[in-house]
Amino acid sequence: MSSLDTPKINPTENIETSRPALITLRSVFLGVVTIVALHIYTNHAGLVMGSSALVKSQYPMAMLIPFFLWLFVNIVLKAFFPSAVLSGRELLVIYCMSWVSSGIALEGWAAYWSTIVSTPTYYASPENQWQEVLFSAIPWWAFTDTDTGVIRPFFDGLSPGMAIPWIGWIKPIFWWGTVSIALFTAGVCLCMLFQRQWEDAERLTYPLGQFAIYLTSGFDGHDRVPAIFKKKIFWAGFFAVFGVILYNIAGYFLHELPPLGIYGGIGSKQIEIAKGYPFIPIRILPSVVGLTYFCDLDILFSFWFIRLLATLKLGMMNRTGFSVGMAGQQARPEQIIEIESHGAMVLLVIWSVWATREHLHQVWQSARTGNRIAGDGRRYRAVLIAFFAATIYIIGWMHAIGMAYPIAVLHTLLLYIAYFTVAKFTAATGFTHLFPPTTNPYGAKGGELLTSFVGTAHLDRKDLVGIGLVNSCGFFGNARVPAWPALPHHFKLLGGQTRTFSRLPGLALLAFVVGIAASFVSIIYIAYHYGGQNLHLAPFSSSTGPVGSYNAMRSDILHVDRTVFDPSKMIVWLIGGLEAGLLLLLRNRLPWWPIHPLGLVFQDTRGLRFYSFSLFLTWAAKLILLRIGGIALYRRAAPFFIGITVGYVAGIVASSIVDLIWFPEGGHWVHTW
Q: What is the pLDDT of residues 53-101, one digit of tens each?
A: 789 899 999 999 999 999 999 999 998 998 899 999 999 999 999 999 9
* pLDDT, tens only, 215-230: 998 787 777 788 899 9
Residue 478: the pLDDT is 86
The average pLDDT across 279-306 equals 95
Provide the percentage of residues in the chain whose pLDDT is more than 70: 95
In the three-class reduction of DSSP (H, G, I as helix; E, B as strand; rest coil), residue 271 is classed as strand
Please give the mean pLDDT across all residues of the chain.
90
Q: Which amino acid, one-letter code, is at 239?
A: F
CA distance 538 to 552: 16
The average pLDDT across 340-358 equals 96
Contact by Cβ (8 Å): 24, 638? no
Residue 441: the pLDDT is 54
DSSP state of 446: S
Residue 10: the pLDDT is 45
Q: E strands within 213-325?
A: 270-271, 280-281
* pLDDT, tens only, 127-156: 999 999 999 999 999 999 888 889 999 999
Provide the percentage of residues in the chain whose pLDDT is more than 90: 72
Residue 20 pLDDT class (50, 70, 90 cuts) = very low
Tell which residue, 349, 367, 419, 260, has the closest CA to residue 597. Answer: 349
In this structure, of 229-233, 235-239, 441-445, the range with the lowest mean pLDDT score is: 441-445
Residue 517: the pLDDT is 97
CA distance 288 to 673: 11
639 has a pLDDT exceeding 60: yes
Residue 327: the pLDDT is 86
In this structure, of 189-198, 219-228, 414-423, the range with the lowest mean pLDDT score is: 219-228
497 has a pLDDT exceeding 60: no
In angstroms and rounded to an integer, the radius of gyration of the C-alpha atoms of the chain is 24
Residue 288: the pLDDT is 96
664 has a pLDDT exceeding 90: no
* H or E, element range at 280: strand 280-281
* pLDDT, tens only, 523-539: 999 999 999 998 877 78
